[in-house]
């Protein structure tokens, strides 16, 4: 027996709804730029209206509902993140800067040693 998950194939109406949702977003963006001579509030209204229509259309399709569920789960997971305090962030930043400084000095020293070995000892070129 096979243990592979079964993948459902979306219907053509679901595909049409996704295409219409994408078109609604495009219309909103084009409207935003097309109304460049209008006040910013009107332009933003056209953009937001396009996005709202796209979300409404996407909500009625199965892939759209799956995506919106994924987005909600993503937001929920991001709220669980424990951010470092200011002190911890400053300490970590200091460690990173210190490491970068040490690596820069190490690489500079390695370059100078190789330069000396190659040009002075092996090739005999003096600067």
- 3-class state of residue 111 by DSSP: helix
Of residues 78 and 4, which shows the higher confidence score? 78
Q: pTM of the full predicted structure?
A: 0.49
Of residues 127 and 59, which shows the higher confidence score? 59
Is the pLDDT at 14 greater than 60? The verdict is yes
Secondary structure letter of residue 118 according to DSSP: I
Is the pLDDT at 97 greater than 60? The verdict is yes
CB proximity list for 52: less than 8 A, separation 6 or greater: none
Q: Using one digit for the tens of pLDDT, what is the confidence trace for 113-124?
A: 999 998 888 887
CB proximity list for 53: less than 8 A, separation 6 or greater: 21, 24, 28
Q: Using one digit for the tens of pLDDT, what is the confidence trace for 17-75?
A: 888 999 999 999 999 999 989 899 999 999 999 999 998 888 888 887 888 889 999 99
pLDDT of res. 49: 94
């Amino acid at each position: 027996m096979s243990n592979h998950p079964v993948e459902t194939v979306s219907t053509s109406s679901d595909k049409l709804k996704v295409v219409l949702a994408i078109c609604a977003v495009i219309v909103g963006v084009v409207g935003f730029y097309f109304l460049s001579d209008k006040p910013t509030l009107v332009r933003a209204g056209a953009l937001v209206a396009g996005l709202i229509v796209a979300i409404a259309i996407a909500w009625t399709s199965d892939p759209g509902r799956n995506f919106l569920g994924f987005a909600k789960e993503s937001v929920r997971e991001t709220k669980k993140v424990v951010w470092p305090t200011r002190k911890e962030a400053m300490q970590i930043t200091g460690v990173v800067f210190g490491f970068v400084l040490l690596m820069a000095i190490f690489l500079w020293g390695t370059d100078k040693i190789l330069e000396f070995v190659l040009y002075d000892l092996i090739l005999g070129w003096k600067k």
